[in-house]
Amino acid sequence: MGLQLAYVSRAECQARCNDDVLGIATFNGTPPPPAGAVGIPVARVNVTVLPHEQQPLYEVWSAGRPGTSGQHGRVRFRRTEEMLFGCIAVAERDIEHCDPGATETSALHEATAQVYGEVCATLSAQGYPHLLRVWNYVPDINRDSGGTERYRQFNTARQRALHASGRALSGPVPAASALGAVSDSPLVVYFLAGRLEPTFIENPRQVSAYHYPRQYGAHRPVFSRAALLRQSGSVTLFVSGTASIVGHRSLHVGDTVAQTRETLTNIQALLEEANRRAHGARFGLETLAYKVYVRRPADLPLIQSQLRAALGSAAQIIYLQADICRQDLLVEIEATGICALAAAA
Ligand code: 3EB
């Protein structure tokens, strides 16, 4: 059995905590003690789970075989022969404290540079050169500071840090999500990396993010729309955070239902593209696991009813409240599909 993903409660997470777990992300949760005990990396993401009365959620990645844990700089990781899960958190507060005279770049810029520098250093030291999937949680992502939106500061620093580590800035770049986190929380990044190069997929309905025109920022966001990973027994599709963007423009400004539908149309188009290159695997909308980011909690029922209608009741879906990296976007959806292959494959 290969890579597996589950979104579960704390109790369920503890029940699943064994050697096979590669890494965990918690959303408004405290880390489960068994994970800490055996050195499983836990990314603590400071975003609210929806609906509000809902318990904390745990995103659990398992490898199907025992892993080995380690740490490189501030990156905590766990790896198998095929892949590595890692996470890092850096607080801007600590940066300001260390370097109060920094004027040329913001604390967020510096935190992002440190995070990406350490992630890339970890991957070269451990020998997992291919970043597959990255999750970025940036506190106050839409706030302006020094005349520039913080998401744009993050993009500038991410691009420079990847460049400084000798990495591509377009083409073979990881699938990703970048969302807001609660004010004053640290910048939290977690990721999956592999030994073998995945297939990166772009969306025929969208301009590649790494080719966005300059109106969205001086430095482009470095991510692919999806990554397709072939392993011994399975093919995994990592779908990046996807929103109501067609071409490079945000569509249906102010209309949550229409944005949700457009986002699903985008994911469907991406799936068709992925299926053409999926080495015999087949992905369908109803077979993915979804993480849905909702800007305004009051929109939850509208979004839920659209998704239930489109995906059926069996699909695994969790909802989080988060700011999305364009002010005019109200919903963003990421997804993961894991397709078992016949033993001969
Ligand atoms: C978009 O399509 C919406 O900066 O890493 C989605 C996924 C988005 C990843 C990132 C941003 C990122 O442009 C925003």
DSSP line for 33-58: HHHHHHT--EEEE--EEESTTPPPEE
d(CA 263, CA 242): 6
Distance 221 CA to ligand 1 centre (A): 7
| Closest-lying ligand 1 atom to the alpha carbon of residue 240 | 7
* pLDDT tens-digit series, residues 188-230: 999 999 999 999 999 999 999 999 999 999 999 999 999 999 9
Encoded tokens for 61: 């990645």
Give the DSSP letter of residue 74: T
Tell whether ligand 1 has an atom less than 6 A from the beta carbon of residue 7. Answer: no
| Closest-lying ligand 1 atom to the alpha carbon of residue 329 | 3
pLDDT band for 37, please (50, 70, 90 cuts).
low
* pLDDT tens-digit series, residues 298-323: 999 999 999 999 999 889 999 999 99
pLDDT of 314 reads: 85
CA 262 from chain centre, in angstroms, equals: 20
Asked if 67 and 78 count as a contact pair (C-beta separation under 8 A), the reply is yes
pTM confidence score: 0.96
Tell whether ligand 1 has an atom less than 6 A from the beta carbon of residue 131. Answer: no
Query: Above 60 in pLDDT, residue 59?
Result: yes
Pairing of strands 130-139, 175-181: parallel
Tell whether ligand 1 has an atom less than 6 A from the beta carbon of residue 154. Answer: no
Ligand 1, atom 9, residue with closest C-alpha: 177
pLDDT band for 184, please (50, 70, 90 cuts).
very high
pLDDT of 280 reads: 87
Percent of the chain with pLDDT over 90: 87
Concatenate the DSSP letters of all residues of 216-275 into one string: G-SS----BSEEEEE-SSEEEEEEEEE-SEEBTEE-STT-HHHHHHHHHHHHHHHHHHHH
Phi-psi region of 280 (alpha: psi -120 to 50; beta: other; left: phi over 0): left
Ligand 1, atom 14, residue with closest C-alpha: 325
CA 243 from chain centre, in angstroms, equals: 14
Tell whether ligand 1 has an atom less than 6 A from the beta carbon of residue 325. Answer: yes
Tell whether ligand 1 has an atom less than 6 A from the beta carbon of residue 227. Answer: no
Lowest mean pLDDT of 101-110, 146-155, 163-172, 302-311, name the range: 101-110
pLDDT band for 36, please (50, 70, 90 cuts).
low
Distance 325 CA to ligand 1 centre (A): 7
Query: Above 80 in pLDDT, residue 69?
Result: yes
d(CA 323, CA 151): 11
Distance 258 CA to ligand 1 centre (A): 19
Distance 225 CA to ligand 1 centre (A): 9
Torsion of CA 195, 199, 203, 204, to 10 degrees: 160
- The chain-wide mean pLDDT, for the chain, equals 94
When pLDDT is averaged across residues 278-302 and rounded to a whole number, the result is: 96
pLDDT of 85 reads: 98
